[in-house]
Amino acid sequence: MSSSSHSSSSRTKPASPANALKRLTRELQDLHTTPCDAVLHLGPVSEDDLFSWEAVLKGPYDHTNPYHNGLWLLDITIPPNYPLAPPKVHFVTPICHPNVHFQTGEICLTLLSGEHWTPTYTLSTTMGAIQQLLSAPGLDSPLNVDVANLYREHDKIGAESLVRFWTVEKRWAGEGKAWFISEKRPGTGGKLGE
Q: What is the C-alpha to C-alpha distance for residues 44 and 130, in angstroms, rounded to an integer?
A: 18
- Look up 96 and say whether it is catalytic: no
The backbone region for 174, taken as left when phi is positive above 0, alpha when psi lies in -120 to 50, beta otherwise, is: left
Catalytically annotated residue among 84, 108, 111, 130: 108
Contact yes or no for 122/27 (Cβ under 8 A): yes
Contact yes or no for 188/180 (Cβ under 8 A): yes
Q: What is the C-alpha to C-alpha distance for residues 146 and 54, in angstroms, rounded to an integer?
A: 28
From 23, 49, 48, 18, select the one nearest 124 (Cα to Cα): 23
Gyration radius (Cα) of the chain, Å? 19
Give every strand in the sheet of 49-58, ordered side by side.
39-46, 49-58, 71-77, 88-91
Contact yes or no for 51/80 (Cβ under 8 A): yes
Q: What are the residue numbers of the active site? A: 108
